[in-house]
Amino acid sequence: MSKESDALIAEVEAFLASERRRIEQQRIFDAGMLLILLAMRGVTPSTPEFTLRPGDADAPRLSRYLLDPGLDTNLATVRIEADQEGRPLLILRPNWERIAGLFGRSVQQLDSLMTRRLPGVINRHRATIRFLLQLDKYQWP
């Protein structure tokens, strides 16, 4: 092969490697945000299901993270109901084994993380979390 071809191949490989790193970083960020959003709602592995309303500030991200294709398959099941005024409600049942698996942890380890460590992180970064949620406010899937 010519030097030009070798250089082009090297550039393509460098680009693909940088994209892989970017995608991995985004996945880590999204998985962390999923835990933070669940913890902010008081949802932990001892919570069998929780309600999500389309108008909730965290609804776009939570539905995007938990529902297929989401961060991974089968992270939650969903049931759609209506509130007293006929508005839709999503009743989500997290699959805690699958969620814990995203982090290479057991459900018990994840529960400890969500109840002991995350509240401090949330308190320290509440303004940033609110800003990120505001970006999604009108993007209900």
Residue that wins the pLDDT comparison between 29 and 45 = 45
Prediction pTM value:
0.80
- For residue 20, the cross-strand partners are none
Is 107 a residue whose pLDDT tops 70? yes
C-alpha 91, offset from chain centre: 17
CA 17, CA 24: separation in Å to the nearest integer? 11
Which two structure tokens, joined as six digits, stand for 37? Answer: 């959003």
Torsion of CA 18, 129, 47, 29, to 10 degrees: 10
CA 97, CA 75: separation in Å to the nearest integer? 8
Per-residue pLDDT reduced to its tens digit, 55-105: 888 888 898 899 978 888 899 999 999 999 999 999 999 999 999 999 999
